[in-house]
Amino acid sequence: MSTFSRRGFPKDLLASIANCLNFVDSLRFRGVCKSWRSSINRYKTPTFPRKLPFSISSDDPVFPNWVMHIGYSPKTVSKDLNLLDYRAIEIATAYIIRFNNRSRFPPPRMGVLVHVREDKGDKLIKLNIAITVGSHVIEVIVDGFEAK
Amino acid sequence: MASTDDKVILKSSEGECFEVDMAVASHLQIVKSVLEDCEGSSDKVVSLFIVEAKYVAMIIEYYKNYVELKEKHEEGGFEEKLKEFEKQFLEQIDKKELKGLVMAVNYLNAPALFDVVCTAIAKHIENKSVEYVREYFGIVNDFTAEEEAQIREEHRWAYDGVNDD
């Protein structure tokens, strides 16, 4: 009987591994082969509540309860944050998003404000997220945070 | 002296024998069910025909530590200690061996280690190109050129900025 080393990698195991992938990787690896494409859902179902992938502080006097601005940047894409993981409760269009000096990226010219909220125990935390309009994917800029 | 009833012998594909405590071996569902099927038999040897000795050794090492840590930290802190150990454990295993290990663990049906190894493999292929992943797993690209171009176009941005290796 042949051992595992001499056999091909079983396809059902690919699905288990695909489950552990982050969002961007899982999208890309749907292009590996047909069985992997069918074993990875197109979008992972957003679950709630989710923790943000980084810690956030509030020091923005203008938008004290902004969690982040997500601005357009042609060369880099965000692999840290999947907006589908958050439940949007309100959307508004905004032109000229305020630029944060701490950010490494150029200021976005136009964007959409997405309000999301996250239940944390019995405390409701409101998060506001801005994303730019356009066909490209967007960069995350952490801006400020306020929990009330 | 420990009773031999508490021991079981696992035999690798090469015929190498490993004497293991029942407490450790019972984490391998396949071993557990084989022993249950042969209850009453004095023969406590389980042949793992398709698992090589090096993987048997790795799996035993993991569950030995798992059982020891669980006993030692019964009152709490087990999970952190296990995480620490898992990190060390994975550092000793090269990337090619991870593939063999996950297949062996899947065959032996050992859920805790299976999750650890799947996560480690996912971490290894994080930010890698589609081509790298195909080569790593020995997957043949079964898309036509048109299909592949279309797939790439769908999420073009996801293909940018991957690591070269």
Chain B contact for A21, CB < 8 A? Answer: yes
Q: Are A24 and A44 in contact (CB under 8 A)?
A: no
Chain-chain contact of A136 with B157 (C-beta, under 8 angstroms): yes
- Using alpha carbons, list the distances in angstroms from residue B78 to A142, B105, B117: 35, 22, 19
Express each pLDDT in B62-92 by its tens digit: 999 999 999 988 888 899 999 999 999 999 9
With a cut of 60, say whether residue B12 has pLDDT above it: yes
With a cut of 50, say whether residue A26 has pLDDT above it: yes
Instruction: Report the DSSP beta bridge partners of residue A112.
Output: A93, A131
Long-range contacts of B116-124 (CB under 8 A, 24+ apart): B116/B62, B116/B86, B116/B89, B116/B90, B118/A16, B118/A17, B118/A19, B118/A20, B119/A20, B120/B90, B120/B93, B121/A17, B121/A20, B122/A17, B122/A18, B122/A20, B122/A21, B122/A25, B123/A20, B124/B95, B124/B98
Q: Tell the residue number behind the tokens 């944050």, with chain if given.
A: A81
pLDDT band of residue B50 (cuts 50, 70, 90) is confident
Q: How far is B119 from chain A (nearest CA, A)?
A: 6
| Whether residue B140 sits in one domain with residue B98 | no
How long is chain A?
148
Q: Which residue has the higher pLDDT, A146 or A108?
A: A108
| Whether residue B150 sits in one domain with residue B89 | no
- For chain B, give the mean pLDDT: 88
Q: How far is A55 from chain B (nearest CA, A)?
A: 21
Distance CA B123, CA B90 (A): 12
pLDDT band of residue B156 (cuts 50, 70, 90) is confident
**CATH number for B88:** 3.30.710.10
Q: Over pLDDT 70: what percentage of chain A?
A: 20
pLDDT band of residue A43 (cuts 50, 70, 90) is low
Express each pLDDT in A81-140 by its tens digit: 555 554 433 333 333 333 344 444 444 444 444 433 343 443 333 344 444 333 333 333
Chain B contact for A33, CB < 8 A? Answer: yes
| Whether residue B86 sits in one domain with residue B61 | yes
| Whether residue B144 sits in one domain with residue B97 | no
Chain A contact for B72, CB < 8 A? Answer: no
Which token pair is B25?
């071996």
Among A13, A22, A27, select the one facing B103 at the smallest CB separation.
A13
| Whether residue B148 sits in one domain with residue B119 | no
Q: Which residue has the higher pLDDT, B163 or B93?
A: B93
Chain-chain contact of A3 with B139 (C-beta, under 8 angstroms): no
Chain B contact for A76, CB < 8 A? Answer: yes
Chain B contact for A45, CB < 8 A? Answer: no
Q: Over pLDDT 90: what percentage of chain B?
A: 53
| Whether residue B153 sits in one domain with residue B101 | no
Q: How far is A146 from chain B (nearest CA, A)?
A: 31
Contacts of A26 (CB under 8 A, 6+ apart): A18, A40, A44
pLDDT band of residue B4 (cuts 50, 70, 90) is low
Instruction: Report the DSSP beta bridge partners of residue A88.
Output: A116
Region B96-101: mean pLDDT is: 91
What is the reported pLDDT for B6?
83
| Whether residue B107 sits in one domain with residue B159 | no
| Whether residue B122 sits in one domain with residue B59 | yes
Region B35-39: mean pLDDT is: 81
Distance CA A12, CA B109 (A): 14
With a cut of 80, say whether residue A20 has pLDDT above it: yes
Chain B contact for A38, CB < 8 A? Answer: no
| Whether residue B83 sits in one domain with residue B38 | yes
Q: Residue B159: which domain range?
A: 129-165
Nearest to B47 by CA among A66, A17, A118, A1: A1
Q: Tell the residue number behind the tokens 């050794």, with chain if given.
A: B57
Q: Count interface pairs A-B at CB distance under 8 A.
A: 97
| Whether residue B79 sits in one domain with residue B15 | yes
| Whether residue B107 sits in one domain with residue B150 | no
Chain-chain contact of B157 with A77 (C-beta, under 8 angstroms): yes
What is the reported pLDDT for B82?
94
Chain-chain contact of B142 with A33 (C-beta, under 8 angstroms): yes
E-strand ranges in A1-148 read 66-71, 88-95, 110-120, 123-132, 139-142
Q: How far is B110 from chain A (nearest CA, A)?
A: 14
Chain-chain contact of A9 with B122 (C-beta, under 8 angstroms): no
- Using alpha carbons, list the distances in angstroms from residue B87 to A6, B56, B82: 28, 19, 9
What is the reported pLDDT for B108?
92
Total domains present in chain B? 2
pTM: 0.63
Could you tell me which chain A residue has the CA closest to the CA of B149? A31
pLDDT band of residue A42 (cuts 50, 70, 90) is low
| Whether residue B120 sits in one domain with residue B70 | yes
With a cut of 70, say whether residue A6 has pLDDT above it: no
